[in-house]
Amino acid sequence: MSPSQDAVQPTETEDKAQEQAPPPPKPDKLDMRGFIPGYVRCGGTKELGEVTSHNIRLLKRLNQVIFPVSYNDKFYKDVLEAGELAKLAYYNDIVVGAVCCRVDTSDPTQRRLYIMTLGCLGAYRRLGIGTIMLDHVLKYVQRDGNFDSIFLHVQVNNDVAIEFYKKFGFEVIETKKHYYKRIEPADAHVLQKTLRPKIPSTQQNGVVERSRS
């Protein structure tokens, strides 16, 4: 989760998307076949769709509900131009999650993909929605073939997200003190999945340092 960019208060969960969405399947309502009347089954249809000017407001509401920080107009303007790097997630045709990434070039020696937000509405967690969003990101960098790593920030107390990302080979590489300005805890872990190891600068210049014996 990237840091807040303007006013920040946790948003109340009066989200239209949540209101419209039927609750996820309840295991106690399973019939003899393990199916739920009216549902496709616990493993309902999960798919990703484009972010467009027609549904960007839905993405804003999702992010307001899911994250304790809010994102400004520039964030959403950039997302509209992000193509495959921004996706909405659907569960049985209902928007329940979203992922937004950008290419990070702050380190000139590295080409990195930064996950700004990846989240799913509370009632739809643990159904594999997060997985299809992250799989999409992993396939994107694999197809591109020219990324060194994928990284993101998470609040240090976000154990669920840390577990989730570790499952996909991410590791905590750094902890930044006071990373968030308006939320507690303010510290963030940097989670990273290395795609190709960093080449020491001496080797990049064609010179390989050898230790003296």
Ligand X SMILES: CC(C)(COP(=O)(O)OP(=O)(O)OC[C@H]1O[C@@H](n2cnc3c(N)ncnc32)[C@H](O)[C@@H]1OP(=O)(O)O)[C@@H](O)C(=O)NCCC(=O)NCCS
Residues that bind ligand X (CB under 6 A): 1, 66, 115, 117-120, 125-131, 152, 154, 158, 160-161, 163-164, 167
Which listed residue (71, 114, 124, 180) is catalytic?
A: 114
Supply the minimum distance, in Å, between the C-beta of residue 56 and ligand X: 19
136 is catalytic: no
153 is catalytic: yes
- Cβ distance to ligand X smaller for residue 163 or 209: 163
Nearest by Cα to 181 from 66, 60, 69: 69
Supply the minimum distance, in Å, between the C-beta of residue 91 and ligand X: 9
Nearest by Cα to 120 from 29, 46, 179, 43: 46
Measured from each CB, the residue nearest to ligand X is: 130
Supply the minimum distance, in Å, between the C-beta of residue 13 and ligand X: 13
Rg, the chain, Cα only: 20
- Cβ distance to ligand X smaller for residue 119 or 148: 119
From CA 150, how far away is CA 165, in angstroms rounded? Answer: 11
- Cβ distance to ligand X smaller for residue 71 or 147: 71
CB 119 within 8 A of CB 164: no
CA 85 to chain centre: 10
- Cβ distance to ligand X smaller for residue 4 or 158: 158
Supply the minimum distance, in Å, between the C-beta of residue 163 and ligand X: 4
Positions marked active-site: 114, 153
